[in-house]
Structure 1
Amino acid sequence: MINSIEIKNFKSIKKKFFPLGNLNLLMGLNGMGKSSFIQTLLLLRQSDNLMRRGELKLNGSYTSIGDTKDALYQYDKEQSLQFILRYGEDEETFLDFDFKQEADVFTLKNATGGTTPDFQNSNFFKEDLFGNNFQYLNANRLEPSSIHSKSYTSVVTLNDVGNHGEYTAHFIEVHGNEDIRFENLLHPKSKSIDSVTKQEVTVKSLINQINLWMGEISPGVNVRTTAIPNSEKMLLEFVFIQPNLGNTNRFKPTNVGFGISYALPVVTALLAARPHEIIIIENPEAHIHDRGQAELGRLISLVAMNDVQIFIETHSEHVLNGVRVAVKENELLQERVNVFYFEKKIDTTEQYSKITNINIDKNGQLSEYPKDLLDEWSNQLAKLV
């Protein structure tokens, strides 16, 4: 797990030390620097030449920034990009990058022609950030569609649902009957009566848990996946449980709205979490009702109680409040959660991200309440009174 990261001169982040935990929430208005923090991790992840040649790749499979001018804090006088990561048993890696104008990579200083054997063999590159225990979900997820693609590499080798959730149907088809790895994620309605033995059983399969948790977002929804013969495509459909009447007919995703399709990759990725995994999700609340957002906050918090590290970029006070309630219900979660609130600081000569560290106490109260964090409901209500 990454214990902390210090970022200097990256985009709008002038200089900031981030202590990290199992759950890290990034909040703030648009354009304040939240995505810049996420991109720091994605750049390291996609830089396959970092270990051998010391190159930080600005455009790759996870994010595309442009050139060095786009990535460097524009008011920097030192013309230097730096990351300091702490991980494991107090181990630290200091990355100090040089650059060329209009280049699409930064290069570690003194790394021309290759890095040192000590750097190449360091435990830094054994971290989950560079391995197969990694899931990133972009804010721009796959729109509702009946036909989905397959990917052996993503679903089987890397065990992920794709950066845009595009392989979620295939992932469910392959892994749906496997039990989830963390029992604290089992939905309260997981117990049922076996039709033959009449004994109470707990159904721990991924597909059952997906259906139960998705039911918190859209009551009664059940996911159906079908491999299309002789093709590299999957069929995704939804049915709804009707009390005393069984299930409805199958519905195409395009006929049930964006919320279910956008939430499905998020819920699947969280429930399929594995030990030591890093999960990064942008805007998990997109197109979801307020109650569903709060339930997502609760599920995210439950995942964070395990050996998993989660980074959530969100604009939702309901996701935050779901986490706050989870902390109040289980104070062991308190030491695992960090909240970072991003604002814009404007001086006479520069502007940059002002980032406030916020802690959640055992009663779910916040240590800081920056302007605009939880104000908008009251602001609009005051206009109606």
Structure 2
Amino acid sequence: MKSLRIVNFKAFTDRTFDLKPLTLLSGLNSTGKSCLLQSLLLLQQSYQQRLLPDTGLALNGDLVSIGTGRDALNESADSDIIGFEVIGDNGTKGIWRFQSERDADVLALLSSPVIDFPTEIHYLSSCAQSKPLDFDLLDRLAPGSSVLLEHPEHRLHPDLASELGRQIARAAARGVQIIVETHNDHLFNGIRVAVHGGQIKPEAVGMFYFKAVERQGRRVIDVASPRIDRNGRIDRWPDGFFDQFEKDLDQLLEPINV
């Protein structure tokens, strides 16, 4: 997948994300990170329930549960149409448009014709697990596979989280497309170390930092896209982007007033 466009779904009225072999999502809670993962999971879920390619979008199922149309539709949307577009690396395009009825848990498909873009996406989330996930799966997946990882660092010691970051980078370098949502700076730095060590090219790594801001009395989501260079350095650090350690250290270095 080269890009994903989200229209009127939850946090976004219209936003396109360029996807890399390894795409990292970060930001505070309730800032729209999960919308990207949920968009892809909703499509896969609907194919698994055989509602796509012909019928509609299943908002609830084994992969993700959104609720009803009122929960799915962006509160600032100027229409009740929810849409997703996925462009593949070979130029193929999947286009889906759905009617968002407020009380419906299956949204009727409106697109005609639909250019189908079926893909098998593996989804791993450690949030509901009582122990760390088995990440040997990353080594077993064939090139061309796609994986969504939700907070994979959960319950991992910092050194293991860093090693997981390097493992994720190595898997992406051999052709497994990975989208990972994380708050963990150790996992993030493990990816940076992998770039520095030449295990993955910097242009194969994309990053999005999500932040809620107030504009004209409305809450909107800003998305920054820091870049990483060959040395593993980041070109800009938006406030809140894996910088809490430095903020805390600055406070500890301040003199104590007795």
Q: Fold match, TM over 0.5? A: yes
Runs (4+) of structure 1 exceeding 4 A deviation are none
Are 2:14 and 1:15 aligned?
A: yes
Q: Equivalent residue of 1:315, what SS?
A: coil
CA contact (8 A) 2:169 2:199 kept: no
Q: 1:137 aligns with which of 107, 110, 124?
A: 124
**Residues 332 and 326 of structure 1: CA distance in aligned 2, closer, same or farther (over 3 Å):** closer
Structure 2 match to 1:198: none
Q: Percent same amino acid among aligned pairs?
A: 33
For this pair of structures, how many residues does the alignment match?
250
If you compute each CA radius of gyration, which structure gives the higher value, 1 or 2?
A: 1
Deviation at 1:98, TM superposition (A): 1.7
* Distance of 2:143 and 2:173 partners within structure 1: 11
CA contact (8 A) 2:183 2:242 kept: no
Unaligned runs of 5+ in 2: 254-258
CA contact (8 A) 1:358 1:366 kept: yes
Name the aligned partner's letter for residue 138 of structure 1. Answer: S
Deviation at 1:331, TM superposition (A): 7.0
CA contact (8 A) 1:43 1:63 kept: yes
CA contact (8 A) 2:148 2:178 kept: yes
Q: Equivalent residue of 1:366, what SS?
A: coil
* TM-score normalised to structure 2 length: 0.90
* Distance of 1:37 and 1:139 partners within structure 2: 18
Q: Deviations over 1:348-377 (max 9, x none)?
A: 342232111222111111132110113211
**Residues 294 and 301 of structure 1: CA distance in aligned 2, closer, same or farther (over 3 Å):** same
**Residues 278 and 331 of structure 1: CA distance in aligned 2, closer, same or farther (over 3 Å):** closer
Output aligned runs, 1:108-147, within 5 Å: 108-109=109-110, 116=113, 119=114, 122=115, 124-125=117-118, 128-129=119-120, 134-143=121-130
Structure 1 match to 2:205: 337
**Residues 94 and 349 of structure 1: CA distance in aligned 2, closer, same or farther (over 3 Å):** farther
**Residues 332 and 321 of structure 1: CA distance in aligned 2, closer, same or farther (over 3 Å):** closer
Structure 2 match to 1:199: none
* Distance of 1:316 and 1:348 partners within structure 2: 32
Structure 2 match to 1:52: 54
Structure 2 match to 1:318: 186
Structure 2 match to 1:37: 36
Name the aligned partner's letter for residue 124 of structure 1. Answer: F
* TM-score normalised to structure 1 length: 0.62
Structure 1 match to 2:164: 296
Name the aligned partner's letter for residue 98 of structure 1. Answer: Q
CA contact (8 A) 1:285 1:314 kept: yes
Output aligned runs, 1:1-385, within 5 Å: 2-47=1-46, 48-53=50-55, 55-109=56-110, 116=113, 119=114, 122=115, 124-125=117-118, 128-129=119-120, 134-143=121-130, 261-262=131-132, 264-265=133-134, 267-330=135-198, 332-385=200-253
